[in-house]
Structure 1
Amino acid sequence: MIASEQVAGLPHEGARIQALLRLLLAGFLVAVLVTQPPSAHLLLCWLIVLSYVLWSVASTVVLRLGGPEVLRYTWLALAVDVFTLAGLTLVADKSADTTWTAYTLLNGLFVVPLMAATQLSPLVCALATAPTVLAYLVSGLLIRPIDEEPISYVVLRALLLAVVGLACVLLTALQRARVLTIARLLQERNHLLEEMVQIEQREQRDLAETLHDGALQYVLAARQDVEPALAGDAECLERVEFALAETTRLLRATMSQLHPAALESAGLLPVLKDVADATRSRGRFSIDVVTHGWDESTRTAVDELLLVTVRELLTNVVKHAAARKVIVELARTDAVARLQVIDDGRGLGGVDLDARLRNGHLGLASRRIRVEAAGGWMRLRDADPHGTVAEVEVPLA
């Protein structure tokens, strides 16, 4: 959030830099009149310069006190800068044969493209540079006859100003692109943080559902049979023992899904079977795990990715498929690992994962993003005659 505010405040910082440059330019004009006063129209020159000083101070104050809407009109100040310098140069031109005032003032136009560059808008910078170069060229041509300066020299100086302006436009475009890139990255970062929070909340809900639909049901059933079992009812005692055994099995399966150490120590295949057992209890359907080229000793770099992916796929089967039978196929070659989850439910083929991600359904879409980030792919298609086939392929290297 802090970084986002900093990016949003960059145009305001640019306007502040422009205001500072304008104050320095006003100081430059005052210094020119003090050190090189024109021999004609001195009072008019001072009137123009002092008006510009007041304008610079006032615009700075308005910028500090105004809101974001003030930034929309900062480009108008550049027009005032150009007209002031050009007009002051033409007034001082009347004494160009005896003083260097006009020539010195003319160089102040080089500051205008720099001020325009702070707008972070290449268009504004270009629109400010063009009249600045034109004013520089026209003013230079008007004062040229005083000392018989060659026209080529005036044109070359104007061309140099145009090059400076072009450099400012290009730098503005580069800086704007960087700012937009930073803003986009920050937006993606915030979006990913929101996704992480939503995924964590969803996994907590899934865990609660798993415990409620599995282990808790056996505990409640055992609780009802405890008193008859204590009274000597052998059948109730057997049911209590079975319920506790199932509770232990389901809790161990849940622990193996949650703890990475279980995956590292036992391997993917045993943990996958535990996931299948836990899902069977939640979904009330049969589930078979079929493997090709995979045994309990197999360890790969994509075990965790495959595990979280199959968990997500099975969770979607439980919630949406209304299936009676599910098959999980895990295959391995020298180069890739392949995973298939096939159900005979109502079908999820044709699901737009990108649309689900935009609408906040992060499960399958986020898993697909992780699979693709690992160099693999994930797709859904209709099963025959009904149901869904989810296919995942991930390179092992």
Structure 2
Amino acid sequence: MTRTPEGGATGPPGAPQGLRQRARAMFRTDVDIDLRDSQDAISDLLVAHQWLALHRQAVLRMGLMLAASTEFLLFPPRVNQHATGIVMTLYACYTVVMLVYAWRRGPFPHVAWAVPLVDLPAFALLLTVSGTYSDPNWDNPFTSDWLMLVTLLSAFQLRPAVTAVTGGAATAFFCVASGVGHAHAEPDLHFTFGHTLSLAMVSLAAVALSLIQQSRVRQIADLAHRRTAMLAANLSIAERERRDMAESLHDGPLQCVLAARLDVDEAAEAAPHEALERADEALRDAARQLRSSVTELHPFVLERGGLEQALGQLAQRAGSRAKITTEVICTARSAGHEADRLLYHCARELVSNVVKHAAAGHLVIRFERDGSQARLTVADDGAGLPQDLLDQRAAEGHIGIASQKLRLHEVGGTLTVRPNTPVGTVVTVRLPVPAE
């Protein structure tokens, strides 16, 4: 039984266009295959590292806010205490919002500029309002160093230009504010020059750190890109070998068996005999098995009718072979050519295990596609497949499921095995695919 979707599904938008374009322009390849899925994976990788940077940045910003609040409580400014408290309260609210924003993964086309456009002006206003640069009697050794920590905030992003802007602006602000604010008193040029130089050196170090992070992420993405290209090439070679083998079986042994059946039929018409009937039955069974092998080696219906029809035929053959009832539920017709082939190979291996080892009475194959993820589920009500038994079979050389798990892992997919309710096994395959 096959169920078709009642309506189309739309997935979430992909990576920001600017980041996606930079990712695609970042790498070249000499492999003559379609690597659009690989480029999407690269941009997704960069997006994941951007979110990791935002998480770390949000935590550091929270620590910076708590440290600044504690200092102003222990060493309150002698002027504008209420205004200082208001600025600190507003910055604390902004810190909490950015923390929630980072963990909820909102859209971030320009969030990297939050440090130079919000954090740095906020601390500049805080230091100015609290009288740090205008009250010569308030000699706090820590407040002038907050600008260094703000500069380090921007180093977490993969944007060296943003870090450079933040560091340059922080250095210029401190130099001007400290020089002008203390001009009416006895200016401590040594203090101003020393801290300005230190802040400039920290800014350069932050830019260098951002460049190193960007280089490492690019190397990781490049390795992922090359690995995906190699895997695609290997899968293409394996697919051609299976196709050649299927054609050889079809044009060789299968034709010989069919010709032998014709000879046996002619002999049976001339002189009927029980042995000829048994030979005809054996040849008919051999032809059926050869056709099944040809279809499994290269399922032509997968290219013509998509994954939905191929899974239907796979379930039909399994039901006939194991004398079990089968059900196929598909909410999508295809997950893309390359993904269809990989999912079909996984389904074939899993269904073969059910037929050979599960002693099941009912088999369910479910295929779904939700945005940028395809999900294949094979469930049965058989004897079950505990993890220790799975490990034992792998140690004995039965590496079918282990090899499928490795192939999925190479393209960012997963394969999980869990008990079915009330009995049996459920195997779920998840594979990232281009968004519909």
TM-score, normalised relative to structure 2: 0.47
For residues 139 and 95 of structure 1, do their structure 2 counterparts lie closer, same or farther at Cα, with a shift above 3 Å needed?
Answer: closer
2:101 aligned counterpart, secondary structure: helix
Matched, 1:139 2:177: yes
For residues 94 and 183 of structure 1, do their structure 2 counterparts lie closer, same or farther at Cα, with a shift above 3 Å needed?
Answer: closer
The Cα of 1:114 is off from its aligned counterpart by 0.9
For residues 222 and 51 of structure 1, do their structure 2 counterparts lie closer, same or farther at Cα, with a shift above 3 Å needed?
Answer: closer
The Cα of 1:229 is off from its aligned counterpart by 7.1
For residues 65 and 215 of structure 1, do their structure 2 counterparts lie closer, same or farther at Cα, with a shift above 3 Å needed?
Answer: closer
- Which of the residues 103, 112, 118 maps onto 1:80? 118
> Could you tell me which residue of structure 2 aligns to residue 184 of structure 1?
222
Please give the alpha-carbon distance, in whole angstroms, between the structure 1 residues aligned to 2:110 and 2:66.
26
1:183-216 C-alpha deviation (Å, 9 max, x unpaired) = 1211222233233333222211101112222333
> Could you tell me which residue of structure 2 aligns to residue 125 of structure 1?
163
- Which of the residues 40, 44, 47 maps onto 2:86? 47
- Which of the residues 92, 101, 110 maps onto 2:148? 110
2:167 partner letter: T
Matched, 1:34 2:53: no
Structure 1 segments of 4+ aligned residues over 4 angstroms from their partners: 3-7, 226-232
> Could you tell me which residue of structure 2 aligns to residue 217 of structure 1?
255
1:219-256 C-alpha deviation (Å, 9 max, x unpaired) = 43344334667979xxxxxxxxxxxxxxxxxxxxxxxx
> Could you tell me which residue of structure 2 aligns to residue 24 of structure 1?
63
Which of these two proteins has the greater Rg computed from alpha carbons? 1
> Could you tell me which residue of structure 2 aligns to residue 207 of structure 1?
245
Provide the aligned length of Structure 1 versus Structure 2: 231
Please give the alpha-carbon distance, in whole angstroms, between the structure 1 residues aligned to 2:236 and 2:207.
43
1:9 aligned counterpart, secondary structure: helix
**Is residue 124–residue 173 contact of structure 2 (8 Å, CA) maintained in 1?**
yes
- Which of the residues 228, 236, 247 maps onto 1:198? 236
Please identify, of 84-93 and 173-182, the stretch whose mean Cα deviation from structure 2 is larger: 84-93
> Could you tell me which residue of structure 2 aligns to residue 334 of structure 1?
none
1:100 aligned counterpart, secondary structure: coil
Please give the alpha-carbon distance, in whole angstroms, between the structure 2 residues aligned to 1:203 and 1:32.
70
Matched, 1:63 2:63: no
Please give the alpha-carbon distance, in whole angstroms, between the structure 2 residues aligned to 1:86 and 1:143.
13
Percent identity reads 30
**Is residue 133–residue 177 contact of structure 2 (8 Å, CA) maintained in 1?**
no
For residues 93 and 175 of structure 1, do their structure 2 counterparts lie closer, same or farther at Cα, with a shift above 3 Å needed?
Answer: closer
The Cα of 1:50 is off from its aligned counterpart by 1.6
**Is residue 86–residue 139 contact of structure 1 (8 Å, CA) maintained in 2?**
no
1:39-82 C-alpha deviation (Å, 9 max, x unpaired) = 22222111211221122112222333352x23522422432221
Please give the alpha-carbon distance, in whole angstroms, between the structure 2 residues aligned to 1:13 and 1:158.
31
Unaligned runs of 5+ in 2: 1-37, 272-436
> Could you tell me which residue of structure 2 aligns to residue 244 of structure 1?
none
Please give the alpha-carbon distance, in whole angstroms, between the structure 1 residues aligned to 2:254 and 2:75.
94
**Is residue 7–residue 182 contact of structure 1 (8 Å, CA) maintained in 2?**
no
1:6-60 C-alpha deviation (Å, 9 max, x unpaired) = 6541111111211122222212221222122122222211121122112211222
2:198 partner letter: L
1:115 aligned counterpart, secondary structure: helix
2:197 aligned counterpart, secondary structure: helix
For residues 155 and 226 of structure 1, do their structure 2 counterparts lie closer, same or farther at Cα, with a shift above 3 Å needed?
Answer: same
**Is residue 122–residue 169 contact of structure 1 (8 Å, CA) maintained in 2?**
yes
Please give the alpha-carbon distance, in whole angstroms, between the structure 2 residues aligned to 1:36 and 1:220.
97
Please give the alpha-carbon distance, in whole angstroms, between the structure 1 residues aligned to 2:216 and 2:149.
24
Please give the alpha-carbon distance, in whole angstroms, between the structure 2 residues aligned to 1:29 and 1:228.
99
Please give the alpha-carbon distance, in whole angstroms, between the structure 2 residues aligned to 1:98 and 1:144.
10
Please give the alpha-carbon distance, in whole angstroms, between the structure 2 residues aligned to 1:228 and 1:76.
86
Matched, 1:13 2:52: yes
1:200 partner letter: A
Give the alignment's Cα RMSD to 1 decimal. 3.0
